Amino acid sequence: MTKETQPISTQEFTDKISLHRESLEEKIYNSLPPKIIELIKRTRNKTRQTLGINPENFVVILGEQTYGLNECPKVIGKRIFAKGLEKHGIQPIELFAVYDIASSEGAIYRMQIPHPNSPDGFISLNILKGWEQKKNVATVGFRPPTLEELSKALSTITSLYGKPKSDNLKEYLGKFYLTQSNYANANIEILREFLRQIGLQIATWASDGVLDTLIAKNGGMEVMLYLWPKLIEEAKKHFVDGVRIPEIQEAPFFLYHLEGCYGRMLTKFTNFDSNKELQIDSQVFSKCLHCGFSETTTPQEIIESGRIITWRAIPRVIAYSTLGIADGHITGGGSRYNKVAKPTIERLGLPYFPITNMNLDGGIFVYESSACKKGGKYKEKSDQLVKEGKVAMADLILSIGVRQLREVVEETLNNGVTTNTKLVFERTLPKNSQIIEF
Ligand SMILES: [Zn+2]
């Protein structure tokens, strides 16, 4: 067995978290000036308090996109591990990236459904109309689909799963899309309510905009400005394919054109001088990627106005770990930026939280898709995609239903969880069953 596939139990991960927490203060004291140490403490305590987390608690963070039921089922695996950690007194916090831009990952706009008569073994349903024209717009800046658009997008699932199930899914999604003003928040509600129904809802959650802005306001901005040039110099030595290392003159955070189009704004320090430290009143030039609007501001002005920021990927995980917002991180197996962030921060003598991911070999959910039951020319291909967990969670719900999911989840949690845990479902739901409550 290679190191990656060696399963880790929730007890083992709890021990890692505890060890990390013990060394955190010491590493910070040995590596940073007193002013920065004070700012780190303040950031951790105030941010945790605002989120309703006791500063002394052990916290594990899991990140999530706002894909709703377009998500692959592997994200549920993260929750199973998080719920397993709760039994050891670890508090999970769920972080939703509502400021991800539409083009960044396909599942924001596309629901991938297995299809045994399609040459690819799947079909893609476009859930977010018009995303092509707004590629650099944050998902929180999109309106949800109307009932008509949703019906159109989901029309092909009726022939695959049957009318009662398809109607049930449509009504469930419609309930949230019609009552929420934006796509990202509707999808958070859609996922969280589904997780509640199967016994996997995480009590504490925040959006990236809220959490990152809080961190910045509570002292994290000054810490990050102090660390930034050192971080970038070091990060360049730990280059990993597919992870872009920002230039030093780029700011560690993104802004958004919130009074205009909700486009992401690229930020750059003007007059950057490598011999001088970055200050809270250093000038930042920002330009909207969607409409081209530009402006100049400072970190101080941003904080004082309460304006939303999100950290870039590498400074974000460093903010969460080194500033002690969380003591551990559960990923879905991606999150390549950790491979740059971890050695970078450790070379600076600073702590980085332990990371774990569910072993995704062969997927986490073992079930037969209702869409593949009738068979077809490309059934083998579509079965394989289902097995690997590469189709939307909607397929899992349409095939298994929340009731059976809840039973198996409960049983799994009672038996104890490792990163190799699989959930096996013996039967697919009959045609006329209700799949989800609403
Ligand atoms: Zn704009």
Domain boundaries, the chain: 1-220+227-242+313-438
Task: Answer yes or no: are the C-beta atoms of 420 and 7 closer than 8 Å.
Answer: yes
| Stretch 184-194: mean pLDDT | 97
Mean of the pLDDT values across residues 116-138?
A: 95
Cα of 260 from ligand 1 centre, angstroms? 5
Burial zone of 426 (CB within 10 Å; 0-12 exposed, 13-18 middle, 19+ buried): exposed
pLDDT tier at 129, thresholds 50, 70, 90: confident
Q: What is the pLDDT of residues 75-93, one digit of tens each?
A: 899 999 999 999 999 999 9
- As a whole-number percent, the residues of the chain with pLDDT over 90 amount to 87
Sign, CA dihedral 65-69-73-78, equals positive
Which residues, 6 or more positions from 299, have their beta carbon under 8 angstroms from its beta carbon?
216, 221, 225, 251, 280, 281, 282, 284
Tell me if 170 sits within 8 A of 150, measured CB to CB.
Answer: yes
Q: How far is the CA of 259 from the centre of ligand 1 (A)?
A: 8
- pTM of the model as a whole: 0.95
State in Å: Cα 222 to ligand 1 middle: 27
For residues 260-271, one letter each, b for 16 or more C-beta atoms within 10 angstroms of the residue's C-beta and e for the rest, the string is: ebbbbbbbbbee
Cα 286 to ligand 1 centre (Å): 11
pLDDT tens for 171-187 read 999 999 999 999 999 99
CA 261 to centroid of ligand 1, rounded, Å? 4
Residue 2 above 80 pLDDT?
no
| Annotation: CATH topology of 1-220+227-242+313-438 | Rossmann fold (3.40.50)
Rounded to 10°, the helix 221-235/338-347 angle is 100
In the reported structure, the alpha carbon of residue 136 is separated from the centroid of ligand 1 by a whole-number distance in angstroms of 9
Lowest mean pLDDT across 325-334, 337-346, 357-366: 357-366
Determine the pLDDT at residue 334: 67
**From ligand 1's centre to the CA of 263, what distance in Å?**
5
By CB neighbour count within 10 A (0-12 exposed, 13-18 middle, 19+ buried), where does 255 fall?
Answer: buried
Both tokens of residue 41? 């403490």
Q: Are 286 and 267 in contact (CB under 8 A)?
A: yes
Structure confidence at residue 272 (pLDDT): 87
Q: Is the pLDDT of residue 354 over 90?
A: yes
Which residues are within 8 A (CB) of 274 and not within 5 positions of it... i.e. 6 or more apart? 229, 248
Least confident segment among 38-52, 188-202, 361-375? 361-375
Is the pLDDT at 270 greater than 80, yes or no?
yes
Give residue 105's pLDDT. Answer: 81
Q: What is the pLDDT, as a whole number, of residue 357? A: 85
Q: How far apart are CA 156 and CA 138, in angstroms?
A: 28
Q: What value does the mean pLDDT take over residues 193-204?
A: 97
Question: What is the chain's mean pLDDT, rounded?
Answer: 94
Distance 33 CA to ligand 1 centre (A): 39
Distance 46 CA to ligand 1 centre (A): 32
- Parallel, antiparallel, or unpaired for β 310-311 and 294-297? unpaired
Cα–ligand 1 centroid distance for 264 (angstroms): 7
Our separate counts of H helices and E strands in the chain read 14, 14
**pLDDT at position 3, please?**
47
Report which residue type is found at 20.
H
Nearest to 168 by CA among 399, 395, 435, 430: 435
Q: How far apart are the first and last CA of the chain?
A: 44
- pLDDT for residue 1: 40
Instruction: State residue 239's pLDDT score.
Output: 87
What pLDDT shows up at residue 283? 97
Centre of ligand 1 from the C-alpha of residue 291, in Å:
4
Spacing, Cα 107 to ligand 1 middle (Å)? 23
Summarize pLDDT for 375-396 with one digit per residue, the tens.
999 999 999 999 999 999 999 9
